[in-house]
Amino acid sequence: MKFSIEKELGNSRGRVGKIETAHGDIQTPAFIVVGTKATVKALTPEQVSSLGAQAVLANTYHLYLQPGEEILKKAGGFPKFMNWQGPTFTDSGGFQAFSLGAAFNKSASKIGNRHDEENSADAVVDPLEIPADRFAKVTEDGVEFKSIIDGSAHFFTPERSMDIQHNIGADIMFAFDECTSPLASYEYQKEAMDRTHRWAKRSLEHHRKTNEKDQALFGIVQGGRHEDLRKESAKIIGAMDFDGFGIGGSFEKEDIYTAVGWVNDELPKGKPRHLLGIGEPVDLFGGIENGIDTFDCVTPTRIARNGSLYTRNGRINILNAKFMEDFGKIDGDCACYTCTNYAPAYLSHLFRAKEMLGATLASIHNLYFIVNLVKEIRQSMLDDRFFEFKESFLKGYYK
């Protein structure tokens, strides 16, 4: 993997660049489409490619459980298995330690809010004291977890995560890390961050010894919402010989861009930076302005399956009664397959009738919207009009 910076954004940390992989180039900034189980839900790989996506990210934890790493290895890796021709990423499985353990059946997520603090005791538990009914538990050596499919017991270590990702076969992998809740205490955030650093070193050492496919490995910066921890983590992870870097949760919504800036001021300038699991329009602008090169997020397809669609004038719910007889366009000048061929009334009918095609058409539109919004942001940077475009877009979207 190679990364080059083509242009830097004046008065900010942003930059335009290119990631070169064995399976093609990624023009950055870029939105990486999530294909959790070697599939982008409701879409074929050809549809994903045709809407402008450059790369796909799959989930190590889910592919390990089903169909299993050995099947993927025999298939030649998950990209070949799913017939995706472009660049690919895999995450490490670390986030599942959080979502299946400390946050299981709770309201906690990667993104917090200051107003949530008063309820923090109910939202998350100390991951070292997880009750037996949870699906995952953190130890110093790795993560113990139960399969969400059959309840069988498994154990991920940094080394095991690397082996699985080697077998899964993506161009870009992530080191094993511990994601914490933004509501976790400062003491636990530091404890988890220090453990992530130890796991990063183990991940990198094992990867260098066993990597036979020239896959790239990104280290992950943690530290929660705390400036001193974020900077410390960025310095330590940045000093390791990773090919690039991921910035992991957890964040406080009000300070996410500030936290990204803290990190990117410390990371080596000449390597790519990926913001894990973040992808709302305002977050794309904020992340790019503060030095993010790539993003991934399940939100565009997840909300699409519930009938929520992005437009230049904000989100709409296609199930609202006003769309039942709307024979215009979903979103102004949108050139996606859905907007070109179907009216809001038809999508409203599909969702009301619970027809599967509704999820497909809505997902095509939402992914097209986000993928091409990032491409527009990239072009605005090349044209020296980023800040004007940002102001104009966000004024219309959040009016």
- Could you list the active site residues? 91, 296
List, in sequence order, the alpha helices (H) in the chain.
45-50, 60-65, 69-74, 78-82, 94-97, 120-123, 158-168, 186-210, 227-238, 256-266, 281-289, 299-304, 337-341, 344-352, 356-382, 386-397
Cα dist. 55→25, 363, 371 in Å?
9, 16, 10
Phi, psi of 396 (to 5 degrees): -75, -40
- Residues 343 and 323: their CA atoms lie apart, in Å, by 9
Which runs of E-coded beta strand occur in 9-75? 15-21, 24-28, 30-34, 56-58
3 state DSSP class of 124: coil
Contact 56, 170 (CB under 8 A): no
Nearest to 119 by CA among 107, 101, 103, 105: 107
Phi, psi of 163 (to 5 degrees): -60, -45
Residue 138, class by beta-carbon neighbours within 10 Å (0-12 exposed, 13-18 middle, 19+ buried)?
A: buried
- Residues 59 and 165: their CA atoms lie apart, in Å, by 9
- Residues 176 and 375: their CA atoms lie apart, in Å, by 30
Residues 6+ apart with CB under 8 A from 4: 17, 18, 20
C-alpha torsion 184→64→244→378, nearest 10 = -90
Tokens of 257: 């861009």
Question: Would strands 24-28 and 30-34 be described as parallel, antiparallel, or unpaired?
Answer: unpaired
3 state DSSP class of 393: helix
